[in-house]
Amino acid sequence: MVHISQLQLTDDTILFLQPRLEYILNARRILRCFELASGLRTNFHKSCLVRMGKQLKGDEVNWAATFRCVETSLPITYLGLPLGGRPYSKIFWKSLVSRIENRLAPWRRIFLNKGRRLVLIKAVMASIPTYYLSIFQIPVSVAQKVESLQRIIFFG
């Protein structure tokens, strides 16, 4: 019996498979059946295979070639979230802080009253960390950095 675990969100899917040839081939067959039944196509050029754990001895099979996709390694970004990193380190959160700073850069030059600044903070600046926080617990130092960016915008 083959157990396939997956995560799905709209048109994105992650499959978790044991590194056995028959599992990989069955997953490929299932995806092909899905294509035939639905009329939709799996885009393997946008897909990647990520190995987790240690490579088994005698494991020279090119799993990525079975799916006709590229093979990569962790850490990766999936749906805007980093996967495979260490969420307790500051480096892990650097992309979040950079995204917030980049979103704020154009707004620093525009004169806004306090009400509009507050709307900007709630609508733009709060949504980005909320997405990350749905998965990861933010370190205190990163939370303080995000709050300081919010204060900079609010108080000008």
Domain boundaries, the chain: 5-73, 91-155
> How many residues are there in the chain?
156
CA separation for the pair 92, 106 (Å, rounded)? 25
CA distance 39 to 31: 11
Burial (CB count within 10 angstroms: exposed 0-12, middle 13-18, buried 19+), residue 57: exposed
Q: In sequence order, which ranges of 39-113 are alpha helices (DSSP H)? A: 63-67, 94-108
Per-residue pLDDT of the chain (156 residues; tens, 9 = 90+): 566 677 777 778 888 888 788 888 888 898 899 999 999 888 888 888 888 776 655 565 677 888 888 888 888 888 777 888 788 888 888 888 888 888 877 776 677 787 877 887 777 777 778 888 888 888 888 889 888 888 877 776
Spatial distance between the Cα atoms of 50 and 70, rounded to a whole number of angstroms: 9
63 in Cβ contact with 24 (< 8 Å): yes
CB 10 within 8 A of CB 19: no
Total-model pTM: 0.60
